[in-house]
Amino acid sequence: MSRVPMPPNFITDGRPGNPFATRYTRPGSLPPLDQRGCPLDLAALIARLDGLEAAALEAPHGHGKSTLLLALAAALAAVGRPVRIVRVRGWRDAWAACTAIVAAPRRTAVFVDGWEQLGVVAAPLRMAAQGLRRTLLVTSHRPTGLPVLWRCETTPDLLRAIIARLPDHGSLVDDTDIAEAFDRHGGNLRESLFDLYDRVEGR
């Protein structure tokens, strides 16, 4: 039985494997890019955030909010600014968000990923952050009433730029695949990358 040759980036011991695997694509693995696929100016966003008491990163699922949140946190930490990140998946995480705001040292930036999940708790937490002079940055899928620091938008060009930063896929996907994945998932980059992962596995 003949063996199908694998592209050069595929190694049979499991390294590096499918270039669309989550180890290459998860939030924090890639730099945040704008809708054209160009790197975002993190310094400009931080300068704007410093002038606000609270702000939001808004976009639907899979549009890069968490990636940008982590990049901004890393940029602040690199200049010695304390940062606390809270990931909220439901109202039970409200206590963690409250603790991060109340117990954090002065000048701490508190980043809350999944703000809308807090429901009615969100408003008093915002007031607490304001009273304690914490800089609050949140992600949300819908408007929060906070100033929008950045609204993440996706395009096929952005998806192509992300793929260009991944390990070589050995021509197992082409531009038609990329466009189809993007359209099928309504611009959700996370689902588009999962789709391309499956295509590579199938080929």
Rounded to an integer, the average pLDDT of 190-203 is 95
Rounded to an integer, the average pLDDT of 136-145 is 96
Distance CA 112, CA 125 (A): 11
Rounded to an integer, the average pLDDT of 33-62 is 96
What pLDDT band is residue 5 in, cutting at 50, 70 and 90? very low
Q: Quote the DSSP letter at residue 85.
A: E
88 shares a domain with 131? yes
* Count of helices and strands (H, E) across the chain: 8, 5
Instruction: Indicate whether 118 belongs to any domain.
Output: yes
119 shares a domain with 171? no
Instruction: Indicate whether 36 belongs to any domain.
Output: no
Instruction: Give tens-digit pLDDT for 164-181.
Output: 999 998 889 999 999 999
Question: What is the domain extent for residue 51?
Answer: 42-151
Tokens 């980059």 found at: 189
Q: Is residue 8 pLDDT above 80, yes or no?
A: no
Q: Which residues are CB-neighbours of 71 under 8 A, at least 6 positions away?
A: 28, 31, 32, 40, 42
pLDDT of residue 3: 33
Reported residue count of the chain is: 203
The mean predicted confidence, pLDDT, of the chain is 90
Which of 33, 56, 51, 50 minimizes the C-alpha distance to 113? 56
